[in-house]
Amino acid sequence: MKKKIILISGDPNSINSEIIFKSWQKINKSIKKRIYLISNYDLINDQFLKLKYKIKTKKVKNINEIYNGDELKIVNVNLFFKNAFKVDKSSASKFVNKTLDLAHKYGLKNNVSGIINCPINKNLLQNAKVGVTEYLAFKCGIKNKSEVMLIRNKKISVSPITTHIDVKNISKQIKKEIIITKIKTINKWFKKFFKKKPKIGILGLNPHNAEFRVNSEENNEIIPAIKKLKETGIKLDGPLSSDTVFINNYKNYNVIVGMYHDQVLTPFKAIFKFDAINITLGLKYLRISPDHGVAINLIGQNKANPKSLINCIDFINKFGK
């Protein structure tokens, strides 16, 4: 049997059970055999019931239990929930952290291709100032900020140097050393998974690159980083102007690297919508998640799009270790 795929059910107050069900209907039997869902058995089945979804499930103790049927195998996280879609914050937080910690433990094993987490409200994490990217980086013992958030589809990837921090703090984190470290991580990852050096376009921080003023981040941090990276043989252009790059110029690159989260994710999502996956580079295992949020406004409406989760499963099936 091929290596296992770990799927985390994520935030209980979400569309996650809907996209899990819809994805399960579309993937083939050979992939189904490899998937182990980390969740609460009673909770996920209660959600399927309330959504009127008919799906066979099987409770297992751990991923070492081999079962070749069509049932969705659920590694049970033993907690009690009163309401399927209105879980209180304390219980939801405990559940999310337990499932992530268990997935991290499994991700380190040699018989696992990687982990996929369904969307999570980051306020449920033990440290509410971080997202799943930073949480798992901490669990992996990464201290040099070499972890990278990469949003990808078959046409283009984007990556922010800073991730889940307030806008007022972004400029403080734009440092030559951090830029160099993250670009090297991206370059190394592309060579490992796609056997090629990516062509990378890097954006400036300020409008029109601050006209390259002497005291700007472009002049003091970004340009020196670009020069250093080019000396190592990395294919890199920039700093590019962020207000025009997504009109058409992005098509000349494999990756567009921005200085902050919304600088690259907003135009990317405007162009590609749900056709993307979120990959964390630099961890001790492959971690992917759908590139959208928990969408509590869509719970129970049968309107959630499973495309991003299906893309996650397809990617990890193809490129997982």
Which pLDDT score, from 0 to 100, does residue 1 have? 60
What's the pLDDT at 84?
82
Could you tell me whether strands 35-39 and 255-258 are parallel, antiparallel, or unpaired per DSSP bridges? unpaired
Residue type, 116: I
Q: Does domain 1-142+283-321 have CATH number 3.40.718.10?
A: yes
Question: So what's the pLDDT on residue 127?
Answer: 64
How confident is the model over 113-132, as pLDDT tens digits? 999 999 999 889 876 557 88
List the chain pLDDT tens, one digit each, 321 residues: 689 999 999 999 999 999 999 999 999 999 999 999 999 999 999 999 999 999 999 999 999 887 777 899 999 998 888 888 899 999 999 999 999 999 999 999 999 999 999 999 988 987 655 788 888 988 998 877 788 999 999 999 999 999 888 999 999 999 999 999 999 999 999 999 999 999 999 999 999 998 999 999 999 999 999 999 999 999 999 999 999 999 999 999 999 999 999 999 999 999 998 889 999 999 999 999 999 999 999 999 999 999 999 999 999 998 877
To 10 degrees, the CA torsion angle through 193, 289, 305, 122? -160
Specify the pLDDT at position 82. Answer: 81
Sequence spans of domains, the chain: 1-142+283-321, 149-273
Domain 1-142+283-321 identical in fold to domain 149-273: yes
Six-digit token string for 190: 């592309």
Mean pLDDT of the chain: 92
| Torsion angle (degrees, nearest 10) of CA 269, 272, 277, 280 | -50
| Contact status, residue 132 vs residue 122, Cβ threshold 8 Å | yes
Of all helices (H) and strands (E), which one includes residue 199? strand 199-203
CATH of domain 149-273: 3.40.718.10
pLDDT at 129: 58
